[in-house]
Amino acid sequence: MTIPDSPATVVYFDHTGRLGGGERSLLDLLARIDRALVRPLVVTGQPGNLVAEFEGAGVPVRVLGLDRDLASASRRFPGRLALALTRPGPFFDAARKLARILRGERARILHTNSQKAHWIGLVAGRLARVPVVWHFRDILEPAPLALASAVGTRFAAATLAISEAVREALGRGPRVRVVPNGISLDRGPVAAPELAAGAPGPLVGMVSQLARWKGPEVFLEAAARIGRERTDVRFVLVGGVLFPESEGNYERELRERAVSLGLEGRLFFAGPVGDARAWIGSFACLVHPPVRPEPFGRVVLEAMAAGVPVVASRAGGVVELVSDGETGILVPPGDAPAHARAVLSLLADPERARAMGRRGREVAAARFSIDRTVGAVMEIYRELLGRSR
């Protein structure tokens, strides 16, 4: 079974127009996909910075114009979720629009990249008679959502789970395969941020969208504890609120909390950045403290690739990345004192921290290269295209 000589059109659909971790991983995939075999077209549900990112990578983009309530509905925003569920019209309108694009582009595969995109894509794929690949990047709660997704995998032609933890949450269906996110190690040097360049003392940081489940409050509390032991350490929180409709004024709450913990002048809010590698490379340690299981932990992999040791919550896909005591330290989720103790132990033993960083880079190169990810995705495409001929 082989892909035809001419490139096969593959449409990639994501319900949002905002650039988050899952979208960055898709961008990395499409930057390396073999254009002699695949002609990629990205469809976003709404406009946003994601459009410019893909167009800058030479990938054409179409904006579907997803209904606002449908686009923002989530389990963390129950009002709009309830509204979306009681108004099926926008959902089927989106599916019909996407099906028209699939037919017009003569797409051979629809590759969906986000939770709402999976369900819209299943209907659109049926309408256009195009096989659908789910790229599943979530560990869903509560149980009814997880069960619905597990059932949904039986209707997708294939489901790519980004970790064993995600596959486990999906019930290990026969069409679910683990394809970890990959990372490129040859993206060239980056300059250190001004805050980190030439400044005294180690810098400890967290890189994440500002969302409650990601645990930035745990980071702040751990920073306060570390600061009482080490007056030379500075801290930075890199990222912004990606979904203000569900997080509200969370950044303001965090800033107020930092002041109340006595971190003013020692902890800096860097805001969202296009490429966090410069920050990560300047860290003595990366702290990744989600309070719920992380589906994968892309920023953890970024730190490992940069040779930076990691202190992270022991849950979800992170445990598949970090070998406790070898490439980082794993601690209980939500346990700020444990996070602080782990960071202090690394700061007190720089040679151990450097050894962890070196080993982390070796693991990232051996197990999580972007070329391995691309190869696994292309294998699935070959199977589907062979079946559809």
Q: How many domains does one find in the chain?
A: 2
Calculate the CA 22 to chain-centre distance.
4
194 inside domain: no
Instruction: Let me know: does 359 contact 327? Beta carbons within 8 Å.
Output: yes
- Residue 161: which CATH number? 3.40.50.2000
**In 292-308, which positions are buried (b, 16+ CB within 10 angstroms) versus exposed (e)?**
bbbbbbbbbbbbbbbbb
Length of the chain equals: 389
Q: Which domain holds residue 55?
A: 8-182+369-388
Cβ pair 303, 360 in contact under 8 A:
yes
**Is 34 within a domain?**
yes
Position 82 pLDDT exceeds 70: no
Q: What's the pTM value of the predicted model, to 2 decimals?
A: 0.89
- ∠136-140-141 over CA atoms, to 5°? 175
Contact between residue 296 and residue 162 where contact means Cβ atoms under 8 Å apart: yes
Shared domain check, 376 and 360: no
pLDDT exceeds cutoff 90 at 140: no
Is 346 among the domain residues?
A: yes
Same structural domain for residues 270 and 136?
no
Do residues 129 and 152 make contact, with C-beta atoms less than 8 angstroms apart? no
- Residue 245 vs residue 356, higher pLDDT: 356
| Residue 339 and residue 361 in one domain | yes
Same structural domain, 254 and 161: no
Shared-domain flag, residues 32 and 154: yes
pLDDT category of residue 131 using cuts at 50, 70 and 90: very high
- 324 located within any domain: yes
User: Do residues 150 and 285 share a domain?
Assistant: no
Q: Beta strands 267-271 and 285-288: pairing type? A: unpaired
> Are 224 and 338 within 8 A, CB to CB?
no
Q: Judge if 168 and 99 occupy the same domain.
A: yes
Residues 14 and 158 in one domain: yes
Confidence of residue 5 (pLDDT cuts 50, 70, 90): low
Strands 61-63 and 234-238: unpaired
Here the tokens at position 53 are: 């990112």
The predicted structure's pLDDT at residue 372: 94
Percent of the chain whose pLDDT exceeds 90: 73
72 — pLDDT class (breaks 50, 70, 90): confident
Q: Ramachandran region of residue 211, left (φ > 0), alpha (ψ -120 to 50) or beta?
A: beta
Is 70 exceeded by the pLDDT of residue 142? no
Residue 191 domain-assigned (yes or no):
no
pLDDT category, 86, cuts 50, 70, 90?
A: low
Same domain, 236 and 342: yes
For position 245, what pLDDT does the model report? 72
Strands 8-14 and 109-112: parallel
Whole-number mean pLDDT of the chain? 89
* Chain centre distance of CA 381: 22
- Residue 188 covered by a domain: no
From CA 68, how far away is CA 195, in angstroms rounded? 38
Does residue 31 fall inside a structural domain?
A: yes
Residues 357, 211 share a domain: yes
- Residues 344 and 377 reside in one and the same domain: no
**Statement to judge: residues 76 and 90 lie in one domain:** yes
Q: How far is CA 266 from the centre of its chain?
A: 28
In a domain, 107, yes or no: yes
Residue 382 reports pLDDT greater than 70: yes
What does the pLDDT look like over 161-199, one tens digit per residue?
999 999 998 887 788 999 999 988 765 555 556 665 555
pLDDT value at residue 144 = 67
Poorest-pLDDT segment among 49-63, 64-78, 320-334: 64-78
Helix (H) or strand (E) holding 204: strand 203-207
Q: Are 161 and 167 within 8 A, CB to CB?
A: yes
Supply the pLDDT for residue 148. 80
What's the average model confidence in pLDDT over 98-105? 98
The pLDDT of residue 1 is: 43
Q: Distance between CA atoms of 220 and 19, rounded to whole angstroms?
A: 25
Under 8 Å between Cβ of 50 and 16: yes
Q: How confident is the model at residue 99 (pLDDT cuts 50, 70, 90)?
A: very high
Single-letter code of the amino acid located at 173: G
Q: How high is the pLDDT of residue 354? A: 97
Can you read off the two tokens belonging to residue 153? Answer: 């995998």
Rounded percentage of the chain residues whose pLDDT exceeds 70: 90
Using CA atoms, how far apart are residues 174 and 183, in angstroms rounded to an integer? 27
Residue 243's pLDDT is 78
The band of 78, judged by pLDDT with boundaries at 50, 70 and 90, is: very low
SS3 48: coil
Coil, strand or helix at 161: strand
Q: Which range has the worst mean pLDDT, 82-86, 196-200, 377-381, 384-388?
A: 82-86
